[in-house]
Amino acid sequence: MLTIDIITVVPDLLEGPFSHSIMKRAQDKGLLTVRTHNLRKWAINKHAQVDDYPFGGGAGMVLMCEPLANAIEELQLNNTYDAIIYMTPDGKTFDQPMANQLSMLQNLLIICGHYKGIDQRIRDQYITMEISIGDYVLSGGELAAAVVVDAIGRLIPGVLSDETSALTDSFQDNLLAPPVYTRPADFRGMKVPEILLQGDPKKVEDWRFEQSVERTKTRRPDLFKED
Ligand code: ADE
């Protein structure tokens, strides 16, 4: 059972991603709980202010210390977090080993920045892990958080109906997944590889492994160099 709290200034952005398909099923089965918290609940004044101009000048707004500290501390009263994660393009790049590790934890708190990010003192004081989903800049951490929660959520035991299917994903062995086919066996003259139709599980397994290696060599040779 994994519980994920997410602090955001745009909770609406996180409505859709967890309300369908596998993430919905994970929550319906009681294996995953995702709760979003609107940072404005901890705003410093009646104008719902949560951000301010950066000291030293420059473009963009910065999420202030006080609302974030109060939000984190209030949530900590009822939860002991295994990790307090800040989504940021200067964090560690998210990958499958990180997803595997996070899926084994019980309580996560994810902070989404917006505008120019959050006050550095919050990062210094509360954040235990900083995650980027890639070398590009999004307008906020919400979509990145949705990516991370989805990748973690599907790895929780019991979430995928076929227990082995997460193990055969791309990246699980530093290999890309092999090609897949479904009916019909002949689509406009394009045929499914014979070996998949013959019903010999050992041959299918060998073929898939070869295809995985071939794909990885041509598309992601860098994966062979890792670990
Ligand atoms: N916030 C903005 N850009 C991001 C990224 N690439 N990864 C994580 N959080 C972000």
Average pLDDT estimate for 85-94: 98
Q: What is the mean pLDDT of the chain?
A: 95
pLDDT score of 119 more than 60:
yes
Assess if CATH 3.40.1280.10 describes domain 2-153: yes
pLDDT score of 169 more than 90:
no
Atom 10 in ligand 1: residue holding the nearest Cα: 88
pLDDT of residue 225: 73
Record the pTM: 0.94
Ligand 1 test: best mutation among 133, 136, 143, 147, most atoms within 8 Å of CB?
133
pLDDT of residue 224: 86
pLDDT of residue 64: 98
pLDDT score of 172 more than 80:
no
pLDDT of residue 115: 78
Measure 102 CA to ligand 1 centroid, in angstroms: 18
Q: Domain limits of the chain? A: 2-153, 170-223
Ligand 1 pocket list (CB less than 6 A): 87-89, 113, 132-134, 136-138, 141, 144
pLDDT of residue 200: 98
Whole-angstrom distance, CA of residue 105 vs CA of residue 93: 19
Residue 108 · residue 72 · CB < 8 Å: no
Average pLDDT estimate for 67-85: 98
Tens of pLDDT, residues 1-58: 999 999 999 999 999 999 999 999 999 999 999 999 999 999 999 999 999 999 999 9
pLDDT score of 227 more than 60:
no
Index of the ligand 1 atom closest to the CA of residue 131 = 8
How sure is the predictor about 168, in pLDDT bands with cuts at 50, 70 and 90? Answer: confident
Measure 227 CA to ligand 1 centroid, in angstroms: 26
pLDDT score of 195 more than 70:
yes
Measure 178 CA to ligand 1 centroid, in angstroms: 29
Question: Which two tokens mark 82?
Answer: 């295994």
Higher pLDDT, 168 or 61: 61
Measure 92 CA to ligand 1 centroid, in angstroms: 10
Ligand 1 test: best mutation among 94, 110, 132, 147, most atoms within 8 Å of CB?
132
Assess if CATH 3.40.50.720 describes domain 170-223: no
pLDDT score of 77 more than 90:
yes
- Residue the block writes with tokens 């193990």: 167
Q: Which residues contact 77 (CB under 8 A, 6 or more apart)?
A: none
- Residue the block writes with tokens 């992601």: 220
The angle at the Cα of 149, spanning 164 to 221, to the nearest 5 degrees, equals 60
Cα–chain center distance at 136: 16
- Residue the block writes with tokens 């398909």: 21
pLDDT of residue 163: 58
pLDDT score of 167 more than 80:
no
What single-letter amino acid sits at 42?
W
Measure 141 CA to ligand 1 centroid, in angstroms: 5
Index of the ligand 1 atom closest to the CA of residue 136 = 6
Atom 6 in ligand 1: residue holding the nearest Cα: 89
